Amino acid sequence: MSVTVIMGLYVFVLAIFVGWQLISKVPHLLHTPLMSATNAISGISLVGSLVAAGSDHGRIMTVLGSVAVMAATINVVGGFLITDRMLRMFKTRTQRAK
Amino acid sequence: MPPTVATVVYLVAGLLFILSLRGLSEQASAQKGNWLGIIGMVLAVAVSVAGLFGFERGEAEAAGATTNVLAVYGGAIALGALIGGFVAARVQMTAMPELVAVLHSFVGVAAVLVGLGTLQEAGAHIDLAHYVEVQLGVLVGAVTFTGSVVAFAKLRGTIGSRPLLLPGRHVLNLALVGGCLALAILGWGAPPDRSFSYLLGVTGLASLLGVHLVWAIGGGDMPVVVSLLNSYSGWAAAAAGFMLSNDLLIITGALVGSSGAILSAIMCRAMNRSIWNVVFGGFGAEPAKASATQAPAGKVRETNVAETAELLRTARNVIIIPGYGMAVAQAQHPIREVTDVLRKKGVNVRFAIHPVAGRLPGHMNVLLAEAGISYDLVKELDEINDDFSDTDVVVVIGANDIVNPSAVDDRASPIYGMPVLEAWKAARVVMLKRSMAAGYAGVENPLCYRENTVMLFGDAKKTVQSLLAALQV
């Protein structure tokens, strides 16, 4: 195995651990917003699609690449906006009175 | 731009995503968390687009060769942003589960396409580690894609919510995985064209696997399925990161994957099921045991709107338990009005939410919030379960399995051991139901036959509206 792969695994395992630590106490109230936000974040494959698209490909790969880019963008934009819309709904009585 | 700049920006974006998740795990900081995520994403995408210009490869080559490509991808981004923005602004909260399923499928598609692209580009020069990553990424991506599409169809009701249980389904799953493995091994070291065809084969088999895995899961398990697919979409992004040796994708994928896994675990615990049972089980399809099919002893007492209104008006403590039936009937808005009227009269009205109520983790909370119900009135199972014995009236709206006493006292019941809201401990229980049909799990609910339970049959929305009218007199 090359060094890059080992370093990748290293980062991977640490990030799993961080994610586990951060999320394990999330209240039920936030489950749906959390899911739509992580959904938006996993649209990071947009970056992947762009990086992969960077080099010179044939026509087919450009078409496939742009489909990937569009799908991932829908994910990112849609996911973040819907999360924001939902979070704005969560208010207490005192906040509503304002 | 030198590569080091890109690396630093990726690192910053990764940190922002971590902070974003931390923000999202608490109500007070959730909105800020979301914005940190947005900033991280903008940074990461900006750097990648700059990379597309080819600055890393030298300006001369960049100028001509990538202008067209950039136009194409710029168009794709613009179109995607437009669609995403439109959908996010218009979607109904009741349709959130479907939207989330669709969005998951996109991550799957992207991972598959990155995999195909990577193999195509590397050709014969690919090393074993990268080759394995490509195969894994395509496998996970394809399963995420087709699994999400089937979940979407189930949530929409396009295909029935009943699990599809083929004979020998475990063998079929194993055969599909084995087929992928075999194609991957055959493709290693083969000429690029053939290797690529084999990868397409893996894509096909994994797609079938995704369809089959999700189709075999019943409609009642949808909250787990959706969170599992959330997790898969993270792993798919991480796999893409390994293929491209991109640390940001690895970090982000791992974060999303583990957060989805935690949500799945929480959902499974709330149903007293193991994750393996959900993924491979086909729950609710085994012939129900004797005690579950027989109608429980006792008889059903029916009530009417006027009586219920009187009951609520004279109560001190009321707990409302909503289920997915409430969302289907769109009854949440009249329920908010009933809550307002009662609270003005000094009745302590609260809501009890079971973790798996609805079709998405936390779905009920969002629906109630959308209807304008303050979230401090909305309680989780652990917070409120001890209060039922102190409660005058419990109103169950479109919920069934989550208030089933068999989960506590009937060892033969398929849902025995599942944590439930102990509504029967209250002085009076009013159950709003369309008919006497069993819940998703197909289990009879003895709560309907208890002496302190009365049934109010009819469409939830109409019933609540007439209840509101009766209360306002």
Last residue of a domain, one of B265, B287, B309: B287
Q: Does residue B7 form part of some domain?
A: no
- Mind telling me how many Å the CA of B290 is from chain A's nearest CA? 35
Residue B1's pLDDT is: 52
Residue B282's pLDDT is: 53
Interface of B with A in 199-238 (CB under 8 A): 226-227, 230, 233-234, 236-238
How large is the ipTM?
0.91
Using CB atoms, pick whichever of A18, A38, A71 lies closest to residue B110: A71
Non-local (6+) Cβ contacts of B332 within 8 A are B322, B326, B367, B368, B370, B371, B373
The CATH number that applies at residue B404 is 3.40.50.1220
Rounded to whole angstroms, the Cα distance separating B369 from A85 reads 11
Q: Which residues of B touch A44 (CB under 8 A)?
A: 17, 41, 44, 237, 248-249, 252-253
Q: Which residue numbers in chain A have pLDDT < 50?
A: none
Q: Which residues of B touch A91 (CB under 8 A)?
A: 369, 374-375
Each residue's pLDDT expressed in tens, for chain B with a length of 473 residues: 566 888 899 999 999 999 999 999 988 899 999 999 999 999 998 888 887 666 545 544 544 555 677 788 888 899 999 999 999 999 888 888 899 999 999 889 888 988 888 888 777 778 888 888 889 999 999 999 999 999 999 888 788 777 777 777 788 888 999 999 999 999 888 888 888 899 999 999 999 999 998 888 876 778 888 899 999 989 988 988 888 888 899 999 999 999 999 999 888 888 887 777 777 655 444 444 444 445 566 778 888 888 888 888 888 999 999 988 888 888 889 999 999 999 998 999 999 999 888 888 888 999 999 898 988 899 988 889 899 998 999 999 988 888 888 888 888 877 788 889 999 999 889 988 887 766 655 677 888 888 888 888 888 888 999 989 888 87
* Residue A75, amino acid: N
Residue A96's pLDDT is: 62
Residue A36's pLDDT is: 92
Residue B114's pLDDT is: 84
Are the C-beta atoms of A53 and B53 separated by less than 8 Å?
no
Count of structural domains within chain B: 2
The CA-CA-CA angle for residues B290, B293, B295, to 5°, reads 110
Catalytic residue among B376, B401, B409, B410: B401
Tell me the residue range of the domain where B109 lies. Answer: 94-287
- Mind telling me how many Å the CA of A3 is from chain B's nearest CA? 11
Non-local (6+) Cβ contacts of A98 within 8 A are none
Non-local (6+) Cβ contacts of B363 within 8 A are A32, B96, B97, B223, B324, B327, B357
Q: Does residue B362 form part of some domain?
A: yes
Interface of B with A in 91-130 (CB under 8 A): 91, 93, 96, 99-100, 103-104, 106-107, 109-111, 113-114, 116-118, 120-121, 127, 129-130
CB contact under 8 A, A92 and B65: no
**Contacts made by residues B81-84, CB under 8 angstroms, sequence distance 24+:** B81/A73, B81/A74, B81/A77, B83/A70, B83/A74, B83/A78, B84/A73, B84/A74, B84/A75, B84/A76, B84/A77, B84/A78, B84/A79, B84/A81
Residue A4's pLDDT is: 78
Residue B297's pLDDT is: 66
Using CB atoms, pick whichever of A25, A36, A44 lies closest to residue B252: A44
Catalytic site includes residue B401: yes
- State the residue for tokens 């102190």: B390
Q: Does residue B34 form part of some domain?
A: no
Q: Does residue B32 form part of some domain?
A: no
* B106 and B133 part of one domain: yes
Rounded to whole angstroms, the Cα distance separating B450 from A60 reads 65
Rounded to whole angstroms, the Cα distance separating B309 from B315 reads 10
* B346 and B238 part of one domain: no
Q: Does residue B392 form part of some domain?
A: yes
* B394 and B413 part of one domain: yes
A85 close to B (CB below 8 A) = yes
Non-local (6+) Cβ contacts of A9 within 8 A are none
Residue B295's pLDDT is: 58
Segment A14-35, tens digit of pLDDT:
999 999 988 888 888 899 999 9
Are the C-beta atoms of B132 and B181 separated by less than 8 Å?
no
pTM greater than 0.90 (yes/no): no
* B303 and B373 part of one domain: yes
Rounded to whole angstroms, the Cα distance separating A15 from B259 reads 11
CB contact under 8 A, B27 and A29: yes
